[in-house]
Structure 1
Amino acid sequence: MPRKVSHVSPADHDIVTAAVADAERHTSGEIVTVIAAKSNDYDDVALVWASVIAFIAMSVIALFPEFYRGLYDRFTGGWGHELTANQWLGTVIAVGVLKWIGVWLILLWRPLRLWLTPRAILAGRVRARAVDLFKVGTEAKTLGRTGVLLYVSLKEHRADIVADEAIAAKVAPDVWGDAMATLIERIRAGQPGEGMAEAVRQMGVVLAQHFPKGDDNPNELPDRLIEL
């Protein structure tokens, strides 16, 4: 039986669910909230770092061969035989391979891998994951195309908002800036539930301005916080 995912406390679930329900009392918009541990494993980033370090190591040996030949002689006590060109090339390649494996093993530690990932890549991967989740669970799931997804990725300390076409046509992405700023600030303070709830409240204000509550407006998407 798979282990239940739990990134936040039951109290946080209640806070976010209540915030979504309250926000939707004043708008025909439908807010979906999702929180995940991470958006990507960044295996390609580790691969690039390992390859770069290995290439640099081999390049340094190639640029300063006499220095490294001297190290070889000191290591063998002067009793080692003179390496042929092919043997020297094989040694350089072996050093590169060992460097590659060493860096790859070090970067199996996820916090370091995340730290070495450029901010633009982190933001891009979080955005891509948010869009994927939006397409699966929110896009075109409401009659008026008024669904909006609030996505939080904890390891990256990043979040994103993706809106359906009716909302995107009236609300520019930068309008969500205050909600996002509040959310990120609370996440960094270790309060993801409070941050998401406050972001939802601010999103609700924006949605109520452009999509006020109608007479016939069923609850088409779940109010509960979804954990991945």
Structure 2
Amino acid sequence: MARPDSALEPMTDADHRRVSAAVTAAEANSAGEIVTILAEQSDSYGDIALAWSALAGLIALIALSLAPDFYLGLYDRLTGAWMQEWTPRELFGVAALVAAIKFAAVWLLQLWRPLRLWLVPRPIRNRRVHARALTCFRVGAERRTTGQTGILIYLSLAEHRAEIIAEEAIAAKVPAEVWGEALAAMLVELKASHMADGLIAAVSRVGVVLAEHFPRANQDVNELPDRLIEV
């Protein structure tokens, strides 16, 4: 799994044609079927944003309970009240208001995508990217070829992650570690902000491996589209 740079050049129509041509060329000498998918983001991470917002509200309540005189005095100064006597109902109301304000503020801050992604722990990001890649693989490649020789190259831009997932027939002959070379070749180009070149490099390396283990038969037909899919 690779971790590309963040400042990538946007894909143009010409780039799409180049990637499609690379897939066609890579499949010319093998029975493998390569699917390329480019995702803007693999997950919304709404649950993580909700968790951070709830935590902020909880911390506000804890702070209010630990130092009530400070916060109530601050409220008095802001509102111009003089030594206000607080009833239990008013105290609960202030606590609820403070928690709600903290919750809303943190939620609104996380509407800025870079901050939301930064607050998502890396292991969670990695798992979500893998889960999305696996879903795309099952929909777009798994059991859609005669010899079960489909393979997915998946790139998720927001998370800066890439994955290669192979179907059963390929996985039985090619260890997952072998795809690390293809991801490394992709990473070199992505670090130079060349997205299309990165995908082409990965496709070419995958094509070499497939040609070695799954040479193309005379009657072989193209079973999956060669075009780059953006989701």
Structures share fold, TM-score greater than 0.5: yes
Q: How do 1:26-105 residues align onto structure 2 when only pairs under 5 Å count?
A: 26-77=29-80, 79-105=82-108
Per the alignment, residue 220 of structure 2 pairs with 217
Q: How do 1:1-228 residues align onto structure 2 when only pairs under 5 Å count?
A: 8-77=11-80, 79-228=82-231
Aligned to 1:136, the other structure's residue is in SS state helix
Q: CA–CA distance in 2 between the matches of 1:168 and 1:63?
A: 57
CA contact (8 A) 1:158 1:184 kept: no
CA contact (8 A) 1:157 1:188 kept: no
CA contact (8 A) 1:157 1:184 kept: no
Structure 2, unpaired ranges of 5+: 1-9
| TM-align CA RMSD | 1.6
Residue identity opposite 1:132 in structure 2: T
Aligned to 2:38, the other structure's residue is in SS state strand
Instruction: Using the TM superposition, give the Cα deviation of residue 167 of structure 1 relative to its aligned residue in structure 2, in angstroms.
Output: 0.8
Structure 1, unpaired ranges of 5+: 1-6
Deviates more, 1:8-17 or 1:93-102: 8-17
Instruction: Using the TM superposition, give the Cα deviation of residue 156 of structure 1 relative to its aligned residue in structure 2, in angstroms.
Output: 1.3
Aligned to 2:30, the other structure's residue is in SS state coil
Instruction: Using the TM superposition, give the Cα deviation of residue 221 of structure 1 relative to its aligned residue in structure 2, in angstroms.
Output: 1.0
Instruction: Using the TM superposition, give the Cα deviation of residue 209 of structure 1 relative to its aligned residue in structure 2, in angstroms.
Output: 2.0
Give the TM-score of the pair, scaled to structure 1: 0.91
Residue identity opposite 1:164 in structure 2: E
Instruction: Using the TM superposition, give the Cα deviation of residue 11 of structure 1 relative to its aligned residue in structure 2, in angstroms.
Output: 2.0
Aligned to 1:150, the other structure's residue is in SS state strand
Deviates more, 1:73-82 or 1:30-39: 73-82
Residue identity opposite 2:206 in structure 1: M
Deviates more, 1:180-189 or 1:58-67: 180-189
Instruction: Using the TM superposition, give the Cα deviation of residue 49 of structure 1 relative to its aligned residue in structure 2, in angstroms.
Output: 0.9
CA contact (8 A) 1:152 1:159 kept: yes
Q: CA–CA distance in 1 between the matches of 2:175 and 2:68?
A: 58
